[in-house]
Every structure is written in structure tokens, then in C-alpha cells.
Amino acid sequence: MNKIIICKIHRTIVSCIFILTMGSCGIYETFQTPRYDITDKAYGDIISPDTASTGNIHWQTFFQDEKLHALIETALKNNADMQNAILKIQAAQASLKASKLAFLPSFNVSPSADFDGSWDVQLPVNASWEVDLFGNLRNAKKRKQAAYLQSGAYMQAVRSQLIATVASTYYTLLSLDAQYKIYEVTEQSWKQNVEVTRRLMKAGKYNAASLSQTEANYYNVCNNLIDIQQEIQQTENQLCALLGETPHPIERGELADWLAPEVIHVGVPLHVLSNRPDVKQAEYTLAQAFYATNEARAAFYPALTISGNYEFRHSLYDIVGSLVQPLFQRGTLKANLDIAKAEQKEADISFRQTIIEAGIEVNDALVAVKSAREKAENYSKQVKHLQDAVKSTQLLMKHGSTTYLEVLTAQQTLLEAQVNQVTNHLTEISNTITLYQALGGGR
């Protein structure tokens, strides 16, 4: 009779578990990366996608300046942000390991001893094992896996940003060097103008006001030299901070040594943008939210824990299984599920927006590079004509055929054009670096 009752109870429990399992199929689903209709047009209509991508080029090939290579390698080794990113990966790895161990039984020993004429030693061993009937442990592990992958994407994002920042700061330093040389030449030229104006004033061809204006312009250029020297030192300090080093002079090349890629391949948006670390981070955040929602669903189902006790004193081995259904927490569990669903939806919206912003970054950088390259030829022609104009006005001034104002105007216009030319060159370089990073470069 007892056997019949036990069998009926057993069949009932098995049936309940089967019904619950069938009703909980959704909590075993695996995360699938969503495909949005905006992905194919992520770059806009500015350029046609191709099969190759400049973002796949290794940074040591993309940047061909050996001195820059040394700086980037030092930064990757010493930079504080990189070191912190590595620690984040280690922490995520430890968390993932802990979630995997949750599938194994747990054991604990509680030894005790009594002395009553003779020693009475007890060494009970307690064991418990949670059976993952409804995917709670599985979803927790999957969520930790996504967190681990996200930490890897975070490190790649830090690495990519660090490479781009070191390169941009380096070329900013080179552009300041180029500007300093322009002001040095200008300072010497304008100093000669002061001497010429002084001689012409003594000859009665110019008055004191002419000399004062010429001298004022000269000293303004001298101050510009001091300002640029200050900017150079501060930019060197910025680079040192990125390198994780104390302030020191930076060994460097020249701005003219920059070799820009003739053709920039943007690749297919779906493939290229999916390689960007920030997009990967957003994707893994969504995956974590997905599995967190599954965990919240799994909380509605019973937890089956098998526990055992083995005590050496009595040679007693006892196994007990407990099936606990959370009947009185439904309101709390429902609220937790609603929160998880809302956070998953928020992560989905953020992922989509990240893809949109990534495409816009590519579009912006392409436009900026194209504009800078188009203006480069115009600046070259402008500087050439202004140099001719300065020579002509200086010659006319020596013969008394023009006023000092025309000379000053020509010189000032030339100086502005030369500085603008250098600035435009830096703009092209900076946006090329930005485009390289936007295409997932920096690996």
C-alpha cells in the first residue's frame, strides 16, 4: 500500500515538473543579436559601401611613423586606463568562473569532538546541489558570459581610443612645430621690415607712425612665438600623461612626413559597425538584460535542491530533496520581471541608437576628410600667390612706390594663410584618424 502511495506521489511530482518545464520553455531561449532596418544605410548616401574596410588595417600599418609607433606601444603598456580595463576583464572572468561553479554540488565539513573518559569525534559532511530545472543557473551563467565579453569590448574600446588619442595628440604637436617654424621665419622677415622702415624714415620717406606700426606688428609675432612654445610644452605634457610618464621632451618627426591613405574603404555597415567596440558593448549589455529577464521569469518556478549528510560517527548517509515553489512572492516576482523587461527594452533602444551614432561618426569623418583634402590644394595656391605679393610689395616699398600699410597687410595675410594651411593639414589628419577609429580601427 505504501509502495502504491509513494509511486503515486512520485508520478505526481514528475508530472508537475514536466508541466512546469513545458511552460517554461521561454527561459531557455538563447540571445540573438537584433537586426535593425537602419543598419544598411548607417553611413547615409555619402559613399557606396565596399567589401574592404580600412578599419581592419592594423594600427602599425595605418600609422607609418616609427616614432609614433614607439609612443603608442608605451601607452598601451603603461596607460592607467588600459591597466584598469585589464583589471575589469579579470574581475569579469572571476565572476564567470563563480557562475560556472554554481552548477556543482557544494560541500562543507563541521567537525566536533567530546571527551567523556574517551574521545568522541564527529566529522559530519553536508552536501547540497541545486538542480537547474528551470534555467536559473544557466541564465545567470549566460549573463556573466555577456558581462565578460562586454569587459573585453570595453578594453578594446579603451585601446582603440588610446591609440587614436596618442596619434591625434602627436600630430597636434607636429602641427605646433610647423606653426612655430612659420612664426620663426615671419619674425626674422618682420624684423628686417622694421630696419628697412627705420632707414626709410631717416631718409624722410616714412614717418614715426609707420615705424611704430611696423614694430608693433613685429612684437606681436614675438608674442605668438612664446604662446606656441607654451602650447608645445603643454602638448608634450599631455602625451606624457597618456604614456603614464612624468613630463619630458617628446622625440618626434615632422608634419610633412604624414602619409595619408589614398583611398579609404568603409566596408559594409553591418560588418564594420559590428566590429566597433562601443557597438559590441551595447550588444553585450542587451544580452545581459535578455538573460536577466530570463532569470526573472525563472524565479516564478520551483527550485529543486538535493542535500545530503554523511556522518562518520554513525555511518549515516541521508539524502533529502526539496522542491520549493515561490507561492507567496508572486507580487514581488512580477515587479522584478517588469523591471527586467523595461531594462531589456532600454538596452535594445540604446543598442539601436549606438549603431545610428556610429554610422553618423563615419559620415561626419568622411565629409571632414573630403573637405580638408579639397581645401589643401586651394591653400597651396593661396600661399604661393601671397608669397609673391609680399615680395612685390617689399620691393615697391624699398623704391618708395607703395605704403608700409600695403606691406603689412600682405605680410599679415600671408601669415594667416600659412597658419590656416597647417591647421587644415592637421584637420585632415585628425579626421582620418577619427574615421579609422569609427570604422573599428585600432586593433
Report the largest interatomic distance among the alpha carbons of the chain, rounded to a whole angstrom.
Answer: 135
Three-state DSSP string of 235-271: HHHHHHHHHCCCCCCCCCCCHHHCCCCCCCCECCHHH
pLDDT surpassing 80 at residue 69: yes
Position 30, amino acid: T
Task: Average the pLDDT over 89-112 and give the result.
Answer: 56
pLDDT at residue 384 tops 80: yes
295 pLDDT tier (thresholds 50, 70, 90): confident
pLDDT per residue as tens digits for the range 306-338 = 555 544 444 444 444 455 556 567 788 888 889
* CA 207 to each of CA 190, 287, 385: distance values in angstroms, whole numbers, following the listed order: 18, 79, 29
State residue 124 phi and psi, 5-degree precision. Answer: -75, 135
pLDDT at 116 over 80: no
Average pLDDT over residues 159-182: 93
pLDDT: is 89 or 18 the higher one? 89
| Phi, psi for 59 (deg, rounded to 5) | -60, -30
Cβ partners under 8 Å of residue 371, min gap 6? none
Best-predicted range by mean pLDDT among 81-85, 141-145, 212-216, 234-238? 234-238
Residue 132 has pLDDT above 70, yes or no: no
Instruction: Please state the three-class secondary structure of 275-309 as a single string.
Output: CCHHHHHHHHHHHHHHHHHHHHHHCCCCEEEEEEE
Average pLDDT, the chain: 79
In this structure, the strands spanning 106-109 and 316-324 are unpaired
Give me the domains of the chain, ranges plus CATH numbers: 31-102+143-301+329-438 (1.20.1600.10)
The residues that bridge with 130 in the sheet, in sequence order, are: 305
Q: What is the structure's pLDDT at 197?
A: 80
Residue 104 pLDDT exceeds 50: no
Residue 253: band (very low, low, confident or very high) from pLDDT cuts 50, 70, 90: very high
3-state helix, strand, coil in the chain (%, to 5): 70, 10, 20
| Nearest-angstrom CA–CA distance, 356 and 429 | 24
pLDDT at position 266 is: 78
Strands 303-311 and 124-131: antiparallel
Overall pTM > 0.85: no
The pLDDT of residue 47: 62
Lowest mean pLDDT among 237-241, 289-293, 388-392, 401-405: 401-405
Residue 121's pLDDT is 43
Buried b (16+ CB within 10 A) or exposed e, 68-103: beebbebbbeebebbeebeebbeebeeebeebeeee
